[in-house]
Structure 1
Amino acid sequence: MDWIEVKNSKDIENILKEFGWFHDSCLKELYMWTESYVDENLSMAVPIGLDMNVRILFQRQFRNPSAIELLFEGVTQFHILPSPENYDSIIYDATLIFHKGLFYWADQSDWKPENYTLETNSWISAKSLKWRDASSWMGKQNRYGVINKG
């Protein structure tokens, strides 16, 4: 599963077309990390640049591909809005755009960066974006980590 770098609007259009504009998909899981850490001597390393990264696994009810993974590097904003109780978590359509030097993904096709609110939509923005086919990652199994319910 090699990463494909997204460089321009043609690459964006290819992802949207390849994954059916995220129609009938779901955000299965995500993994966020930074380059900040505390070492064994309790010294902290804190980069001064954009050090947040996010991997998101999406699955959908169609084949070729049935799942993709997006890798956002240099995340500038990140907002995930869970579905309310008694509502489904189906993504009916999504947008992926390049705007003012940032890649944006949002769970609605007409979403615009300048019109966002924190009460609606899940969305993310980052300096760079890569993607890959993750069709072998279908099903309930978690791929980014084991959940310990104890």
Structure 2
Amino acid sequence: MEWLEIKDNKDIEKLLYIFGGFHDSCLKELYMWTESYVDDNLSMSPVPDTNVRILFQRQYSNPSAIELLFKGVAQFHIVPSPENYDSIIYDATLILHKGLFYWANDYNWEPENSMLTETSWLSAKSLKWRDVSSWMGKENRYGIISDL
């Protein structure tokens, strides 16, 4: 499972084509972490980088699941589906704007209107993706949920 870097609009168009514009997909899992930590001496090592991995699955093959890796996250806005609504993504947008990569679960979403919407979206300095079609199904890939 090799990571493929998204560098420009050509790479974006290729990914959107390969994954069908995220049509009939779902955000299966999301994992966020920072580079900050507290060491054994209880000293803080604050590093401002935030990263996010997202697993998407869809109702088509080749690929049926992909993972996106956003590094250097600048904004993070995820809105859960309201009660009694499905979580199907019908279309999404992926754009490069002012040096940041933006993903949103609405094809018509634009960064200028980011605060005026209930759309899930995030932006980051860099973006990679990989085919993880073997990760289909209910099983969690980023961690085990137990005793909840």
Task: Output the TM-score relative to the length of structure 2.
Answer: 0.97
Q: CA deviation at 1:149?
A: 2.0
Asked whether the equivalents of residues 73 and 129 of structure 1 are also in contact (C-alpha less than 8 Å), the reply is: yes
Number of residue pairs the alignment of both structures matches = 148
- Equivalent position SS for 1:93: coil
Which of 87, 108, 111 is residue 109 of structure 2 equivalent to? 111
Change (3 A) 1:149 1:119: farther
- Which residue pairs with 1:68 in the alignment? 66
- Equivalent position SS for 1:116: helix
The CA distance in 2 between the partners of 1:138 and 1:122, in whole Å, is: 22
Letter in 2 for 1:106: A
Task: Output the TM-score relative to the length of structure 1.
Answer: 0.96
Structure 1 gaps, min length 5: none
Asked whether the equivalents of residues 79 and 118 of structure 1 are also in contact (C-alpha less than 8 Å), the reply is: no
The CA distance in 2 between the partners of 1:119 and 1:102, in whole Å, is: 19
The CA distance in 2 between the partners of 1:149 and 1:62, in whole Å, is: 33
Aligned residues: percent identity?
74
- Which residue pairs with 2:92 in the alignment? 94
Q: CA deviation at 1:117?
A: 2.5
- Which residue pairs with 2:53 in the alignment? 55
- Equivalent position SS for 1:15: helix
Asked whether the equivalents of residues 34 and 52 of structure 1 are also in contact (C-alpha less than 8 Å), the reply is: yes
- Which residue pairs with 2:33 in the alignment? 33
Structure 2 gaps, min length 5: none
- Measured on the aligned residues, the alpha-carbon RMSD in Å equals 0.9
Aligned pair 1:149/2:122, yes or no?
no
